[in-house]
Chains A and B, each alone.
Chain A
Amino acid sequence: MNVSISINGQQVSREIEPRTLLIHFIRDTPGLTGTHWGCDTSNCGACVVLMDGKAVKSCTVLAAMCEGHEVRTVESLEVNGRLDPVQQGFHELHALQCGFCTPGMMMTARGLLDENPDPNEEEIRTAISGGICRCTGYKNIVAAIRWAAENEATARQGV
């Protein structure tokens, strides 16, 4: 079947099998490999993207279900060479090590801040509890998301 999805503002069309998962569509067709696969069971959150502004696990959504919807991936965070405050916060506060969970964590954070621009620690911990990070113990991720909340307006600068 032919499926056309808006990914990061670009309309991407492709002939696919109906069973194609959104994550594979994203990684294959536009070649956006920032969205990662970490488990088979919707438990790890490495594949989180925004669908119509809400964080979803792209391993558990069919690409066919996204026709007519807006998908945003990690590659969309930086705009015209300006980092999203979430990206900047992750860098400033050492919220990543191997980097594998990072795109999913950052997209989850982006979805959170879009709905709740001033989350407290508990709200942040809850928001990212659908994601697994093996490297950071979450401490710096929580701090980075707080940092992003505080610097949302001003921190758009390059690394």
Chain B
Amino acid sequence: MATVENLPSRTTERPIGFGRLKRKEDARFIRGKGTYLDDIRLPGMVYGAMLRSPYAHAKILSIDTSRALEHPNVAAVITAKDLETLGLAWMPTISYDTQAVLAGDKVRFQGQEVAFVIATDEYSANDALQLIDVEYEPLPAVVNARKALDADAPLIRDDKTGQRDNLASPTWEAGDQEATDKAFAEADTVVVRDIIYPRCHPAPLETCGMIADFNPETGQLDIYNGNQAPHAHRTVYAHVAGLAEHMIRIRCQDIGGGFGNKVPVYPGYVCAIAGSIVAGVPVKWVENRTENLVSTGFARDYVMHAEMCSKDGKITGLRVDVIADHGAFDSTAQPTKFPAGFFHIVCGSYDLDASHVRVKAVYTNKAPGGVAYRCSFRITEAVYLVERMVDALALEMKADPIELRMKSFIRPEQFPYETTTGWTYDSGNYAETMKVAMEIAGYEDLRREQREKRARGELMGIGVSFFTEGVGAGPRKHMDILGLAMNDGADLRVHPSGKAVVSISAQTQGQGHETTFAQIVAEELGIPPEDVEVRHGDTDRSPYGLGTYGSRSTPVSGAAVAVVTRKVRDKARQIAATMLEASPDDLAWEKGRWYVKGDPGKDARIEDIAAYAYSGEEMPAGMEGGLDAQVIYDPPNLTYPYGAYIAVVDVDPDTAHVKIRRFIAVDDCGVRINPMVVDGQIHGGLAEGVGIALMELISFDEEGNCLNSSFMDYLIPTALECPDFELGETVTPCPHHPLGAKGVGESPNVGSPPAIVNAVIDALHETHGVDHVDMPCTPARVWAAMQGRPEPPQ
């Protein structure tokens, strides 16, 4: 089933259940009445500002805060020494590493936190930063991940006992080395590429921040903080600060985008908490844009060597060796049992004979992170690698890149399909989706146009990618973060009037949960979505769960909501049976009511059942009153959304400027709860992909100075660089998700960069012999590639 976006949707304007329902949350946002962190003011609140290291690597000889303390509006200055007395000088990362909250002995990246000023207003707090005198002794910095393990590389983590080099992880591998060697030995074509997925940054438009409000009388710690996983954060604070978990309340109100950047706990948060404990008043800390870019969770930074082979026109084998740059502290987001995240889903959408993957991580004098950016734990790097390699192989084979993919796809009848690295894909019909994309693009016509343009000296490229993602982490038997199972809760209460409140542990940062989760309840219970309030973002008022990232809201929380609603529906059936004096087995369900089979007029509507459940009437034997339920959902497997993307670019032959003229995205994310919201997610992720492919880059000079520390140099595409995205869809339900949904948030970010880079190379290969260019495809880098010297980013 294929539909083009502009066709009328198959659902009504105000669906009871799934369909293009306009968003409930818009009402406050379009009036400027959202409540983002910086909008919150508490009585007596003071403001924090962070002093950061100007050096990438240096010994701290002394910190003198006396001049800052003389500032009339400064209440306190906190340094590592102060934190040591509170036991807060170091904190755990989400990768079981440790990270300095404030640097005491050494600074290990430019922008590292050194001192925290608390003042009565933010202007004074900023002024006081200039009054702190820190004496540094600069040390040589490790900037290039490839040189981090050299014998003469300075040791970065000398704070860790037993650490003798800059290795941040043991070498981790997946797949079958022997079988892979055999596949390559028998191959007829082999290609080799060194591919960099450069460091970039999620850069949500709202930066990170916190208000910490510790009440010394009660011991209660109230936290306001835009983060993507409030329950997990609370557990971390309980461990870090030694506070009782039940006395911590985290409220995430509106969040101005996250994209993975708001998953980790940052030193500024711990300082705000420490500041409130010390000062006894609420402390607000909101980072500025430079702080966001230079110190909070970056994404990617994978240096990859890959080999791919084919036999008889079909891809057969893949060999990959990766150095992952984790920065100065390993705070990569990944489930504990997957040290390199989900990178080893690297076999892509292809039925390979064998594959073998090796990843090792190193420390460098760069900001810590590796958190994501609309990416499930390194799947983005994997997809980029495999989709670039397939194109490289097609070039070598002189085959059409779509034809090679079509021949190599996993076939529909092979699902569930176990990959050569051990993942079990749930469902798919890849060729069908690829065909829809070709149809929307007018692929043959584009190829014809390209030939004509080439003859006139114009450079036009058509690039393809076909991705499969694994999202919705995850099954508790395989996946946890810091020992916390990656499950999510849902709690549904239907009130006597038939209106409902569903509480979830997912945390929206713009994904529209207040609408789509209401639609799930509406679909399953047959009540209007406007009668369902979705409660989230407050640890006191929502069930435990691991939050929103890795496209896990719909696959995990969405499933939890479906399951809890079905539980309520089942209870309603028992009650209806009592009401109707029938056996539950004799009842049938139709949206919103249970009725007697064979006598459809004899029914009980949900609101009647709810009223009954809370009334003085007799309940079914052994059943408690009320109409509510609670679940914790443990997904049996990841879900595997996929898609076919085609980019069309024009390259200026003289200036090498790349313009994306068209972008076609056909996604199969299983069943779509709100197609409008799904489309919106895809548009946004595609724009990020445009940015990553063409301009977004965090780079460093040899001393480790960050060269992209503001929006003047960390470039994000505007409306003028983004084409009018053309979407299509196929629907292949997920067999193990209660709604058949697979999740979509990350797909467009994951799938679009390789399509764009493949298009750039496609534009330049025939005329300029270009067979590789690293991202971002800036005019300068594309020009260099056209001169025959592709230059990798720093």
Are A and B direct contacts in the complex by CB distance below 8 Å? yes
* Chain A residues near B (Cβ < 8 Å): 17, 19-20, 27, 32-41, 43-44, 46, 73-75, 77-78, 83, 87, 90-92, 94, 96-103, 106, 121, 124-126, 128-142, 159
Q: Are B31 and A87 in contact (CB under 8 A)?
A: yes
A140 and B289 in contact (CB under 8 A), knowing A98-B509, A98-B510?
Answer: no
Interface of A is mostly: loop
Nearest Cβ in chain A — how far from B276, in angstroms?
22
With a CB–CB cut-off of 8 A, which chain A residues contact B681?
A: 97
Q: Are B256 and A100 in contact (CB under 8 A)?
A: yes
Nearest Cβ in chain A — how far from B21, in angstroms?
10
**Selected A-B contacts with CB under 8 Å, 15 pairs:** A33-B32, A34-B32, A34-B33, A77-B30, A83-B30, A94-B680, A96-B510, A98-B205, A133-B684, A135-B684, A136-B684, A137-B722, A138-B683, A138-B687, A141-B719
- Which segment of B34-42, B362-370, B614-622, B768-776 sits at the interface? B34-42
Q: How far is the CA of A15 from the CA of B35 in the complex (A)?
A: 26
Q: Are B256 and A98 in contact (CB under 8 A)?
A: yes
Q: Are A43 and B257 in contact (CB under 8 A)?
A: no
Q: Are B256 and A99 in contact (CB under 8 A)?
A: yes
Give the contacts of B252-279 with A (CB-CB under 8 A): 254-257, 259
Give the contacts of B13-48 with A (CB-CB under 8 A): 22-23, 25-36, 38-39
Q: Are B38 and A37 in contact (CB under 8 A)?
A: yes
A91 and B725 in contact (CB under 8 A), knowing A46-B205, A126-B720?
Answer: no
Q: How far is the CA of A91 from the CA of B30 in the complex (A)?
A: 7
Nearest Cβ in chain B — how far from A93, in angstroms?
9
- CB closest residue in chain B, given A129: B718
Nearest Cβ in chain B — how far from A135, in angstroms?
4
- CB closest residue in chain A, given B203: A134
With a CB–CB cut-off of 8 A, which chain B residues contact A96?
A: 26, 29-30, 510
Nearest Cβ in chain A — how far from B354, in angstroms?
38
Q: How far is the CA of A46 from the CA of B26 in the complex (A)?
A: 17
Which of B33, B259, B512, B679 is most buried by chain A, counting CB atoms within 10 A of its CB?
B33
Q: Are B724 and A121 in contact (CB under 8 A)?
A: yes
Q: How far is the CA of A78 from the CA of B30 in the complex (A)?
A: 9
With a CB–CB cut-off of 8 A, which chain B residues contact A33?
A: 32, 35-36, 38-39
Q: Are A19 and B123 in contact (CB under 8 A)?
A: yes
Q: Are B710 and A98 in contact (CB under 8 A)?
A: no
Interface string of B549-562 (1 = CB under 8 A from A): 00000000000000
Residue B290 CB within 8 A of the other chain:
yes
Besides A96-B510, A139-B724, 8 new A-B residue pairs in contact (Cβ under 8 A), listed by A number: A34-B32, A36-B205, A38-B207, A41-B711, A44-B205, A74-B31, A98-B257, A142-B719
Closest 4 CB pairs between A and B?
A34-B32, A98-B510, A100-B256, A99-B29
Q: Are A134 and B257 in contact (CB under 8 A)?
A: yes
A39 and B711 in contact (CB under 8 A), knowing A91-B23, A99-B256, A134-B204?
Answer: yes
A135 and B680 in contact (CB under 8 A), knowing A36-B36, A40-B710?
Answer: yes
Residue B712 CB within 8 A of the other chain:
yes
Nearest Cβ in chain B — how far from A116, in angstroms?
16
Q: Are B205 and A132 in contact (CB under 8 A)?
A: yes
Nearest Cβ in chain B — how far from A72, in angstroms?
11
- CB closest residue in chain A, given B509: A98
Residue B716 CB within 8 A of the other chain:
yes
With a CB–CB cut-off of 8 A, which chain A residues contact B28?
A: 99
Q: Are B123 and A87 in contact (CB under 8 A)?
A: no
Nearest Cβ in chain A — how far from B19, in angstroms?
13
A133 and B29 in contact (CB under 8 A), knowing A44-B711, A139-B722, A139-B724?
Answer: no
Q: Are A91 and B257 in contact (CB under 8 A)?
A: no
B contacts with A, residue count (CB < 8 A)? 56
Q: How far is the CA of A139 from the CA of B726 in the complex (A)?
A: 10
Q: Are B712 and A43 in contact (CB under 8 A)?
A: yes
Q: Are A94 and B31 in contact (CB under 8 A)?
A: no
Q: How far is the CA of A78 from the CA of B25 in the complex (A)?
A: 17
Q: How far is the CA of A91 from the CA of B27 in the complex (A)?
A: 8
Nearest Cβ in chain A — how far from B14, in angstroms?
13
Give the contacts of B588-604 with A (CB-CB under 8 A): none
Q: Are B256 and A92 in contact (CB under 8 A)?
A: no
- CB closest residue in chain A, given B684: A135
Q: How far is the CA of A139 from the CA of B255 in the complex (A)?
A: 21
Residue B676 CB within 8 A of the other chain:
yes
A17 and B123 in contact (CB under 8 A), knowing A99-B256, A139-B683?
Answer: yes
With a CB–CB cut-off of 8 A, which chain A residues contact B32?
A: 32-35, 73-75, 77, 103
Across the interface, A100 reaches (CB within 8 A) one of B205, B288, B686, namely: B205
Across the interface, A129 reaches (CB within 8 A) one of B34, B204, B710, B720, namely: B720
Q: How far is the CA of A92 from the CA of B26 in the complex (A)?
A: 10
With a CB–CB cut-off of 8 A, which chain B residues contact A101?
A: 205
Q: Are A135 and B718 in contact (CB under 8 A)?
A: no
With a CB–CB cut-off of 8 A, which chain A residues contact B491?
A: none
Q: How far is the CA of A125 from the CA of B719 in the complex (A)?
A: 5
A43 and B687 in contact (CB under 8 A), knowing A94-B23, A99-B510, A129-B718?
Answer: no
Across the interface, B716 reaches (CB within 8 A) one of A87, A99, A125, A134, namely: A134
A41 and B254 in contact (CB under 8 A), knowing A32-B32, A99-B25, A137-B722?
Answer: no
A136 and B680 in contact (CB under 8 A), knowing A98-B204, A100-B206?
Answer: yes
Across the interface, A90 reaches (CB within 8 A) one of B30, B204, B685, B718, namely: B30
Q: Are B684 and A134 in contact (CB under 8 A)?
A: yes
Q: How far is the CA of A21 from the CA of B35 in the complex (A)?
A: 21
Across the interface, A41 reaches (CB within 8 A) one of B289, B512, B688, namely: B289
Q: Are B687 and A137 in contact (CB under 8 A)?
A: yes
With a CB–CB cut-off of 8 A, which chain B residues contact A34?
A: 31-34
Which of B259, B681, B686, B724 is most buried by chain A, counting CB atoms within 10 A of its CB?
B724
Q: How far is the CA of A46 from the CA of B30 in the complex (A)?
A: 13
Q: Are B205 and A38 in contact (CB under 8 A)?
A: yes
Which of A37, A77, A83 is most buried by chain B, counting CB atoms within 10 A of its CB?
A37
Nearest Cβ in chain A — how far from B697, in angstroms?
16
Residue B677 CB within 8 A of the other chain:
yes
A91 and B22 in contact (CB under 8 A), knowing A38-B289, A138-B719, A139-B725?
Answer: yes
Q: How far is the CA of A99 from the CA of B22 in the complex (A)?
A: 14
Across the interface, A137 reaches (CB within 8 A) one of B25, B35, B207, B725, namely: B725
With a CB–CB cut-off of 8 A, which chain B residues contact A136?
A: 680, 683-684, 687
Q: Are A97 and B712 in contact (CB under 8 A)?
A: no
Q: Are A100 and B725 in contact (CB under 8 A)?
A: no
Residue B99 CB within 8 A of the other chain:
no
Q: Are B688 and A134 in contact (CB under 8 A)?
A: yes
Residue B511 CB within 8 A of the other chain:
yes
- CB closest residue in chain A, given B724: A139
With a CB–CB cut-off of 8 A, which chain B residues contact A87?
A: 30-31
Q: Are B712 and A102 in contact (CB under 8 A)?
A: no
Q: Are B123 and A97 in contact (CB under 8 A)?
A: no
With a CB–CB cut-off of 8 A, which chain B residues contact A97?
A: 257, 510-512, 680-681, 684
Q: How far is the CA of A81 from the CA of B510 in the complex (A)?
A: 25
Which of A17, A83, A94, A139 is most buried by chain B, counting CB atoms within 10 A of its CB?
A139
A135 and B31 in contact (CB under 8 A), knowing A43-B711, A96-B26, A100-B206?
Answer: no
Nearest Cβ in chain B — how far from A61, in angstroms?
16
